[in-house]
A and B are shown apart, each in its own frame.
Chain A
Amino acid sequence: MDKEISPEQGKKKVISIRNLNKAFEGNQVLRGINLDLYEGENVVVLGRSGSGKSVLIKIISGLLKQDKGSVQVMDEEVGTLPVKDLQKLRQRIGFSFQSSALYDGMTVKENLEFPLVRNKRGLSNKQVQQAVEQVLHDVGLLQTMNQMPAELSGGQKKRIGIARTLILNPEIMLYDEPTGGIDPVTCVEINHLINKVRQQYKTSSIIITHDLTCAKMTGNRIAMLIDGKISREGSFDYVFDTNDADVKGFYNYNFITQQ
């Protein structure tokens, strides 16, 4: 693997992945992944659909278990944590789903209240209301508070999905295809929001995407995932300054589709 030294290397590691392997029914999806996330940085994991990007962050959040290897989040080994400890750890991790995964039987307000009232018991109604208003203000959708998810556009759903994770003040954000399935203008708005979240909430993030614009706008560091392995890692310019056919092909395909 070609790797550029991270400018954040001196900082504290919040996620450390070593020799991670995962297979589904004999199909090896991840093959010996090594990746670190340092405090305050955004790492973008780029790769084609089906390359195992989403599997990677599902293992980090404990939704899936690895076959082999180690995944440490805030110095805790995710795969071996007891359920209660894992639930506590998850309160420090925000996960923004590709499909937004808003609870469609609840209003936007109820969606945002849901994790808050369950994880921070004892909050008054006023405090909950204030927290909901604050995150909605931060994602620029205060006016949607009483709407149902079905009444929102794709971009609005993504923002509410991000707001729902922000309400717990996470230290780590995991974004699964944050710009997937939305128009280019909204994509840029989401990219700005990801950067705003990093600055305002002091989060460290892993962003899973196949969108080069998203990678360039949001990533301090890019990890290129090809055939279940990280083939190149470093700044955007470093990763794509190569003659590797797979990496070049990915870059050119994105370039053509964006014209």
Chain B
Amino acid sequence: MSERTRTLLSWHLARVRPSCLTEAASHESPRAVFIDADHPDAPSVLEANRQGECLPVILLAVDRLRHSALGAVVEVLAKPVSTDDLDRVADRLFNDGPAPRTSGAGADEAIEDPGPDEGGEADRYAFPRIEDSHDDESAGELPPSDAPLPLPLMEPTPRPEGMVEEGPAARERRQARVDALFGREQAIDEARRGDSSDDTSAPSDALYYDPGAYLGARLEHELQLVHQDRRAATLAAPRDRQPAGGFTLAMAHMELYVLPGIDRIYASSTLRSTNTARLTFTELEPNAVTVTHYQGSSMPALQDRVRVRASSGYTIDGFIWLAALMSSQGRLAVGNDLHRRYRLRHWPNLTRLEPVPTGIEIAGCWSVRPASIDEVIARTGVHPRFVHAFFAAASALRSLVPAEDA
């Protein structure tokens, strides 16, 4: 951390006297103004900051009984801000306030401990010894989650700031991934133009698809059967704990193991591969999928197969969302009306679902008021293929429903 930051922190913490200050910062340029809200100069320093550089303010005011100056401080903070220069703020902080006292010239050296706090005004703002801790305690605060996270299919890893721009090959790969999920931009543009100019009684084939012909519909049908079985079993023997059923969906290239009782779907091959994902979510031929249900005494057999063969896992919502995106590929389900209004019942769990570019903007627009697909496209300025795909996936999870169903 910079000497300035260290000094200001010390100034404040003189009252607290921590045995150790966890400080991961290494600021060599000022990023923020630290203010002790109880210091008599706090309001004027804040005012100077407000009229000058207007750095973010970190209020150090931990003593509940001594924050009488907070009222004045808040008044200053609440005023509108402008940007000018940092020097005036720094001058006030370092020249008008109590002079910082350090033990050495180097910015990284510890600040001299002035001895016990006598409680007087001068000692109140004296400097304690600050020990830098390199232990990253907070990083270990959280125990690892036991629940397996659904694996996003093709999300590119975000690049840390300052990394070299991606090359043409990487850009091409990324574009191919986006096209596989959301369709090609030009194709959807052409389909929409065709749809708006043609007779609307004959919708453009390129813009619409039949969701019933894809894996997602088959999965939902089988899930409904399991839920019905469970309801029936519960009604028959309400006091008994009903064993959760499950089923497999076997295709030529892979198998899916569906365990509704624990909200998981496992796949025998990774769906991170674009080719496998395409094969899995392409329009199904008749008899392309074999379904086997398991219940009661046969369930351990299914669990064993999951243990031996599963290579990736999803929540059921995560898989349904992904299947809907891959079926849609930027198109709309037959029967959807671009002008019918829909409302968002709840936000999809966007941290654990396959990302849709600008998905937060699309959901945010729908969250404010009911809107049609075309209205959302106009309000957000997002390309229709992403809005169509989001619509398909959110509808599959019942997050989006027709506004009149409210």
Bound together: no
A residues lining the B interface (CB < 8 Å): none
B residues lining the A interface (CB < 8 Å): none
